[in-house]
Structure 1
């Protein structure tokens, strides 16, 4: 049985450092180093669309049906402007979430931070149109969205931490090149009619 895909707005990693060896060097700090061709930086996590729509319906006590939430969310996602590719730099590995993921903390240009803020503001506007009250509480409480921290830290998940320490690990500075923004698993979105 295939897992239902999660929907995110992300930028793909086109390269880490000067070549494959620079990325493979991270293996001395990370177990189960991920394949470089699937690396990305998440700008906004929507989660499983059906779960997100169900969260909206439950929050609005049925005022906004799941089908309406789905349709409007798809329209909003498909109308998002594209963020052009950009370079970033990473100088340390950080432990993410519950400690099971190690990520490159990436210093990105200001326009990337601005774009990410515009995504969150756009999400707030979408939720307002879907008649969600207390939008910030919904964002932090929605299981689908999975927001746990109000502050966004640009990062690229690269594997599992080798050590149990939650302390950041310094690495030699490395350039990370990103492509244009895209909707991950966008091909699975239903038609917005």
Structure 2
């Protein structure tokens, strides 16, 4: 298999996400989670990732490596950027959570979120669209690429709706039941959209 990129922490990661507008009845409901996690994240930055695209230069490098250079970076980058900016917007929605679960190999804790079916459908549409884009760029074995690309960062083909909220107290924290909370999400958006190359 072709060698693919290692991550550069200094460059922004591009994701499609739904921002969290409110957890529970307000700040106190969210702050109460600090009983279960360390370094509780600020409410303003909370979001649900719908699709992780990663650092664009690294994704382009992964595609070039996979195609053995047939997909030229100079042509791939505008295609990926155009695809991202033309994605439909998912309207804001309500979810709920009654469980904290370990994430990222146990380094983080997050709220596992129950979301409406149309959110699952939208996320599946994003992956399907990514599949079509990669096919048009000349990739083969696209499922293997999606799971193997360090830039995309997939660990599993199954999407678990969640919100990362803070550091786990240990690497072996089990899932924890919490009092149910409603979660309000805003319209989907591209995180770090300003980092996308300008249209030529």
TM above 0.5, one fold? Answer: yes
Gaps of 5+ in 1: none
Maintained 8 Å contact 1:72/1:192: no
d(CA) in 1 for partners of 2:93, 2:146: 28
- Partner-residue secondary structure (3-state), 1:113: helix
TM-score by length of 1: 0.97
Deviations 1:95-135 (A, max 9, x none): 01211110000000000000000000000000001101110
Counterpart in the other structure of 2:163: 156
Show the 5 A alignment for 1:15-164: 15-164=22-171
Alpha-carbon separation, structure 2, partners of 1:165 and 1:73: 38
Report the aligned-residue RMSD.
1.0
The Cα shift of 1:55 comes to: 0.4
Q: TM-score, normalised by structure 2?
A: 0.94
- The count of aligned residue pairs is 192
Shift of 1:67: 1.7
Distance 1:60 1:164, change over 3 A: closer
For structure 2, the 5+ residue unaligned runs are 1-8
* Whole-angstrom CA distance in 2 between matches of 1:164 and 1:122: 35
Cα drift, residue 60 of structure 1: 0.5
Match of 1:14 in 2: 21
